[in-house]
Amino acid sequence: MQTIILITSLSAIITYCLTPLVILLAKQFNLVDNPKTRPHPAHTHTGIIPRAGGVPILLGIFLPLFFFTTAGKTIVGILIGAAILVLTGIWDDIKNRSPYIRFLVNCLVAILIIGFGIKIYYLTNPFDGVIYLNTWKINIHLLNNYSFLVWADLFTLFWIVWTTNITGWSGGVDGQLPGFVAVSAAVIGLLSLRYATNDPSQLQVTLLAFATCGAFLGFLPWNFYPQKIMPGYGGKTLAGFMLAVLSILSFSKLGTALLVLAVPMTDALFIFIKRIFSGKSPVWASSGHFHHHLLSLGWGKPKIAIFYWLISLLAGIPALTLNYKQKAFAGILLVVSVLILIYWINFLREFPKKTEGEQF
């Protein structure tokens, strides 16, 4: 437990101390978000805000790991994937890339992670038994006799790309993203710690989870209202990527992720379906997310951010004690509740006009 506290604190300190330097560099190299020159339908801020927040978070996650654990194949693969996403974010900050290009990069990173052996081999059936995903195997001799586990690889690809993207969709309000990501990573870390006694590799997963938690906690003071820096595309995708990979490595998978990310995932599912039926591309941004509607209802940005944190925390606590069947039931109940709330806000409620100034 002392090691966990130490790595969490060190990650938070590194990220917190590096972020002001990144803010200065972002301003110097014009890595900023200016709504007047770069309009974006999903943005809720005014003024010129530095981006590139993924850089200090990335360093905060991985620098402490070299002091507390060996850089094995798994950690190296995750580091490479995370670095690619952050670099893509910087590229996007400079050139404002097409969302299709960003989506392609996300897919390539997911394939890279699968190549490093990080896969979902089975799913626990909430009704009974186990659904094995490694039953269909294709051997590819040209790739050093690589075994393509069709269902496992495809489902892992979907899970990583889905979680990487939808987590970032819920990062539009100051302090919203780093708070619920830190809570989610801590819950996953505590769950993986349970298995560390029988499986020593889980200790490495635990440390990675709490390093992720600490890094986002260290970024939070700079991103909370009024934000001094945005996570940027790199920081948002890094958040979703780390939660996706951690949920696979810790054996928590869908049950826990469904609980702690219930609001972001349900909001993303609603937006995805809504865009498809309206004939729009699901990868293009819009101002129809849950936090946008809460703003329209008169909620202040700090209140929205804290609301997201609390939902993740309140959902994460039972995730630590419930069995897989109870998790599935609780997750479905929570998702249905959020869907009903989102539907009510979208279609049955007349929004008051937004007022100037910030409310809590």
On whether residue 312 sits in a domain, the answer given is: no
| pLDDT, tens digit, 9 for 90 and up, residues 223-282 | 999 999 999 999 999 999 999 999 999 875 667 877 888 888 888 888 888 778 877 777
On whether residue 359 sits in a domain, the answer given is: no
Angle (nearest 5°) at CA 331 between 329 and 332: 65
Residue 17 has what pLDDT? 98
Helix, strand and coil in the chain, % to nearest 5 = 65, 5, 30
Q: Which of 257, 259, 57, 256 is nearest to 163 (CA)?
A: 257
Domain count, the chain: 1
On whether residue 10 sits in a domain, the answer given is: yes
Percent of the chain with pLDDT over 70: 89
**In Å, how far are 77, 177, 222, 328, 342 from 335, measured between CA atoms?**
32, 19, 31, 10, 10
On whether residue 260 sits in a domain, the answer given is: no
Secondary structure (3-state) at 130 = strand
On whether residue 61 sits in a domain, the answer given is: yes
Residue 142 has what pLDDT? 62
Nearest-angstrom CA–CA distance, 147 and 243: 26
| pLDDT, tens digit, 9 for 90 and up, residues 301-310 | 999 999 999 9
Q: What is the DSSP secondary structure assignment for residue 352, as one 8-state letter?
A: P
Residue 198 has what pLDDT? 79
On whether residue 238 sits in a domain, the answer given is: yes
State the chain's mean pLDDT as an integer.
Answer: 86
Nearest-angstrom CA–CA distance, 276 and 228: 35
Half-sphere exposure of 245 (CA within 13 A, CB side): 31
Residue 8 · residue 210 · CB < 8 Å: yes
Is the pTM higher than 0.75? yes
Q: Residue 125 is part of which domain span?
A: 2-254
If you average pLDDT over each of 42-56, 199-213, 265-279, 316-330, which comes out highest?
199-213
In this prediction, residue 355 has a pLDDT band, given cuts at 50, 70 and 90, of very low
Mean pLDDT, to the nearest integer, of 103-130?
A: 89
On whether residue 52 sits in a domain, the answer given is: yes
**In terms of C-beta distances under 8 Å and separation of at least 24 residues, what long-range contacts does 145-148 make, across chains too?**
146/115
Residue 349 has what pLDDT? 55
